Structure 1
C-alpha cells in the first residue's frame, strides 16, 4: 500500500463524509487511532481498509485491520502521515527523543480557504433483479437471456 492509496481513501472519506464512508464499507467508528491529514482527523481502520482495496482490489475486513493496527500505524508514519494513538500520543510523541534528524527547511505553505463540502450520507446501492428460474442477474430489459 502506497501513500497514494491512502490519499485516495482520504479523498473518498472527504467526499462521502464520515458516516457515509463508514456505512458504505461496513466499518464501525474506532476511537483511539486516527490519521491526521491537513488538519482533519480520519478513522484509521476504515481508511486503511479502503486504501488496501485501492492497492489490492480487496477490501480488508475490519477485524483484520484492527488486529494489525499498531504495525499499520508505524508504516503510515514512514509514509509521512501523522497517526494518533489511544492516550493522545501522535507521530511526534511516538518517535524516540534520543534520535535527532536534521531536515532542510520546507518552503512556507500558502493555504487558501476551502469551501466546506456538504456531507451527505451514502445512498444504498440498488439490488439487482434476479431471474427466479435460473438465478442469473436480469438485464435492463427485465427478461432473462437464458430462460426467455
Structure 2
C-alpha cells in the first residue's frame, strides 16, 4: 500500500489553499528543492510533491517531503493524477524516459538503459572514491611532524 493512499481530493484542495495562504516558497525552503512535476490547478502551478506532502499531513498528521515519499515526485504526480488533478512532468527528456523504464521486478536492482538493454547493478562501473579536502595528505616535517609549507622548509625547525 502506498504511503499516499491516505489522501483524497479534498485533502489536495486544502493543501493548495494552505500553499497559497502560507506561501509556497517558505515550504520549499523547509522541505528541500523543487520537484520536476508540476500540479496545474485553476491556471496556477504548484510543486506536485510538496502539495502531496501537505495533503498527507492533513490526512494523517505527518507532512512529507519529496524524499519521504517512496518513488519521490513521480509517485506524488501519479497519486495526484489518480485523484483527478492535472500534472505536468518538467523532467529533462532523457531523465523522464529513464525513470519510466526503471524496472522494479528485481527490487530495483535492474535498470533498462536508453538503448533498450538491461544491466544489473553489479555490472555498472564502480564509482571513484571521493576524497574530502580535509583528507588531503600533506608532506610533514621529519623532526616536528608539522605540515610543511610550499617551500618545503619547516617554519618551526628552520
Alignment of 1:1-148 (within 5 A): 1-23=7-29, 26-65=30-69, 67-87=71-91
Pairwise CA distance, 1:44: 1.4
Which has the greater radius of gyration?
A: 2
CA distance in 1, matches of 2:72, 2:55: 15
Q: Does 1 or 2 have the higher relative contact order (CA < 8 Å, sep 6+)?
A: 1
Stretches of structure 1 that go unaligned for 5 or more consecutive residues are 90-148
Question: What's 2:124 paired with?
Answer: none
Q: What is the CA-CA distance between 1:88 and the residue it aligns to?
A: 8.0
How many matched pairs?
87
Q: Check the 8 A contact 1:5/1:51 in 2, yes or no.
A: yes
Q: Contact 1:52/1:59 (CA < 8 Å) preserved in 2?
A: yes
Cross-structure match for 1:137: none
Unaligned runs of 5+ in 2: 1-6, 94-158
Greater fraction helix:
2
Contact 1:29 1:43 in 2 (8 A): no
Does the CA-based 8 Å contact 2:49-2:76 persist in structure 1?
no
- Return the offset for 1:45: 1.6
Instruction: Give the 3 Å change call, closer, same or farther, for CA 61–20 of structure 1 in structure 2.
Output: closer
Return the offset for 1:31. Answer: 4.1
